[in-house]
Chains A and B, each alone.
Chain A
Amino acid sequence: MDSLSDLLTAVSHPTRRAIIGRLSRGPARFLDIAEPFDLALNAVTKHLKLLDRAGLIRRKRKGREVMISLHAKPLKEVAVWVHEYERFWNERLDSFEQHFREKKQQP
Chain B
Amino acid sequence: MKKTKDTLDLSFERKIAAPQQEVFDAWLNPLVPGTPWSESKKLILDPKVDGLFYWVHESGCPHFGRFTKVQSPALIEHTWMSPNTLGVESKVSVRFRKKGKHTLMTLRHSGIPNTKKGRGHEWGWNYFLDAFYGAAGKVSIK
Nearest B residue to A81 by beta-carbon distance?
A: B1
- Find chain A residues with CB under 8 A from B13 CB: 12
Q: How many A-B residue pairs have CB under 8 A?
A: 123
What is the distance, in angstroms, from B128's C-beta to the closest C-beta of chain A? Answer: 6
Any B CB within 8 A of the CB of A82: yes
CB atoms of A100 and B12 under 8 A apart: no
Any B CB within 8 A of the CB of A104: yes
Any A CB within 8 A of the CB of B88: no
What is the distance, in angstroms, from A98's C-beta to the closest C-beta of chain B? Answer: 7
CB atoms of B119 and A11 under 8 A apart: no
Mark out the residues of chain B between 120 and 137 whose CB falls within 8 Å of any chain A CB in the assembled complex: 120-121, 123-125, 127-128, 131-134
A78 and B128 CA atoms in complex are apart in Å by: 9
What is the distance, in angstroms, from B11's C-beta to the closest C-beta of chain A? Answer: 9
8 contacts between A and B (CB under 8 A): A11-B128, A12-B12, A73-B141, A79-B128, A81-B1, A82-B125, A93-B14, A96-B14
Enumerate chain A interface residues (CB-CB to B < 8 A).
4-5, 8, 11-12, 17, 20-21, 24-25, 70, 72-73, 75-76, 78-87, 89-101, 103-104
